[in-house]
Amino acid sequence: MSEQLQVEDWARPSAQSLRELVDLEAGRISPRIFWDEAIYRLELERIFARCWIFVAHESQVAGPGDFLTTTIGEDGVIVARGNDGQVRVFLNACPHRGNRVCFAEAGNARRFTCNYHGWAFGRDGALLGMPAEEIYEKTCPDFDKSEMGLMQARVGSYKGLIFATFDPGAPSLDDYLGDYRWYLDVLLDTDEGGTEFLTGNIKSWIDCNWKVPAENFVGDSLHAQWTHNSGAVAMLGGGVGKAKQDSVYQANANGHGMQFGFDMVGNVMTLGEPEVVEYIREREALVAERLGKLRSRMVGAMGSATLFPHFSFLAGLNTIRTWNPRVRSGRSCTPGCW
């Protein structure tokens, strides 16, 4: 007795049909881009498989053997520092039968070993060996261990941030970031010591398409007057509309965007810590010497920002979010992000 499995045929949308979902002249977009499964699958193929994707900060993999696991699109990857000091990004799948080779979220490892057939891979992703190695060599005359390492992505870094892409034809990371680096430096380069990530993180499932929060962080400040008003009253003594703010600006470069002001302490004030505000003001001259007067006024006032496609941050609060596409188990038609 055989059972026929029904496989849904997801029609690939045409370029013209996608263009019709965005009305640039009227400034409107169709809500379909936030729920259509065919569009989501196309995004995994055309965006997450081709763009430079943030995967880690150098401080998270500081020493040889340090690693963490994350995703590029829906594909699991391992970010690891080798014995030579180089950071590499591997597909978290054994080239033998596709089993995951690392189930831990982070740590330090001498090697990564597949728990299916025991294939072991070094910190550089190279295949070290496996049980009954002679059987593979005998049954497959062309078996070459040097060609059976973990699949590696291209890796690039910018002032502590590590990015990866599986597209060999993608532009360089510098070209991808473009002029946006000028704004990124307000987060990454206010001190010669650079930056580091504090340990720990928060993971939340958001039952929505990844573009919803990514688009919000590009510069939706209007929600603050309503959504954050009670918090502003509690911490600042007045509503959002009464907070001092010279003006708000929007900047876009290479598809990346952000919103900022020049009051120096706009976002920092929401922490409710006078000492932090004082610290920011005391450092203004030092930052101005390093980045110029204009950017020294943006340090605490830089609002939400998104580096396309999924890396968002609040420079004033020094917090970072990544909107990683996920399909919840048992709900293959409802993509979300965490």
Those residues whose C-beta lies under 8 Å from the C-beta of residue 200, and which sit 6 or more positions away, are none
Mapped onto helix, strand or coil, the DSSP state of residue 79 is strand
- Give yes or no for residue 245 having a pLDDT over 60: no
Domain boundaries, the chain: 54-165, 178-328
pLDDT band at 333 (very low <50, low <70, confident <90, very high): very low
Fold of 178-328: Naphthalene 1,2-dioxygenase Alpha Subunit; Chain A, domain 1 (3.90.380)
Token digits for 133?
């190695």
Q: What tens digit of pLDDT does each residue of 118-145 get? A: 999 999 999 999 998 888 888 888 888 8
pTM score of the predicted model: 0.89
Class for the domain spanning 54-165:
mainly beta
Q: What tens digit of pLDDT does each residue of 300-317 get? A: 777 789 999 999 988 777
Q: Give the pLDDT confidence score for residue 2 in this predicted structure.
A: 44
- Count of other CB atoms within 10 angstroms of residue 293: 12
Q: In whole angstroms, what is the distance from residue 15 CA to residue 327 CA?
A: 25
End-to-end CA distance of the chain, in Å? Answer: 41
- Give yes or no for residue 6 having a pLDDT over 50: no
Mapped onto helix, strand or coil, the DSSP state of residue 67 is strand
Residue 94's alpha-carbon distances to 43, 67, 72, 106, 315, in angstroms, are 25, 17, 17, 18, 38
Peptide bond into 335 cis (omega under 30): no
Counting Cα atoms < 13 Å in the Cβ hemisphere of 291 gives 22
